[in-house]
Structure 1
Amino acid sequence: MAASRSEERDQNQPVVLVTGCSEGGIGHAMARAFAAAGCAVVATARSRGSMRGLDGDPRFLLLELDVRSDESARAAVADALREHGRIDVLVNNAGVHLVAPLAEVPMESFHQVFDTNVYGAMRLIQSVIPHMMERRKGTIVNVGSITALAPGPWAGVYSASKAALHALSDSLSTSLQG
């Protein structure tokens, strides 16, 4: 009988879930770096096909995840836990940018950016926190941006979403430390 991935894995090997791992992006590079450092990596993106270069490598569990969906976030965390038994690190990297004059941005575009960059991170946090609290262990990394502190004239929506993510991160850090 073949051993499962979790049985083959070293129990001391950290399990890292990274969102936004499409080829060519920061998440893809982080997934590769975590794997090179000996971590078991759960790499996620809206489409498995967008994670070219990670497929076929046993160090990666590739999952489809749309951070804009509560159901998708819960399912990805459940799949990672079923496969690896735990999640040690969550890296909320998925994000979208919007370049436009702030006064002309349609409200629907505002909603889409915030739904991905802010609410998407919170969906994953709320999905993984019960597991981490039960273990009394875990790390959450939210990928921010310097534009939260120094917004440009055409990056207002993106900058505002990253500022909100910074504020949520600070609040979570204070409230979750035990």
Structure 2
Amino acid sequence: MHIIDTAIADVKILTPKTFGDERGFFMETFRDDWFKQHVANVSFVQDNHSKSAQGILRGLHYQLKQPQGKLVRVVSGEVYDVAVDMRQSSPTFGQWVGVLLSAENKQQLWVPAGFAHGFYVTSDSAEFVYKCTDYYAPEHERSLLWSDSELAITWPILPGTSPSLSVKDQQGLPFAQASRFE
């Protein structure tokens, strides 16, 4: 596994070693001892898998209690994945990182607890798989406004379209009003 640093030191891009030939490929996508030694000393308790159509934007989500670190990857299609630092004591508080993740590039993104997370589907559809360091707790979930002008995230929205959002994401709070971590 190769680690690529991002503009936010705690957020990492992981590129697995892929072994393949005309028959297909093999890659190791996660190894607990390696991850703890090289990325973050965390344990994962839940795996999730979602499928979304082109133009859907999910996020930006985070949980104030039971915060989740997430190791995310795309197994079909492509998404633009975003992590926003919500840790008030962090030198990168309010900054964001965006990365194209695809089944083709096989990259993963490590998003630590304390970050809002979301993605926008750029392909016809995408299947998104992620490991979480804590359990989903909807009563503690918050939604940060994806289009907040203070954050100025440069989403690759298809020309002439608007993203498809859930009601929860339409009602996301601007960064200035959003709950934060210490």
Report the TM-score, using the length of structure 2 for normalisation. Answer: 0.27
> 1 or 2, which has the higher helix percentage?
1
Larger RCO (alpha carbons 8 Å, 6+ apart): 2
Q: Which one has a larger percent strand, Structure 1 or Structure 2? A: 2
TM-score (norm 1): 0.27
Which has the higher Rg, Structure 1 or Structure 2? 1
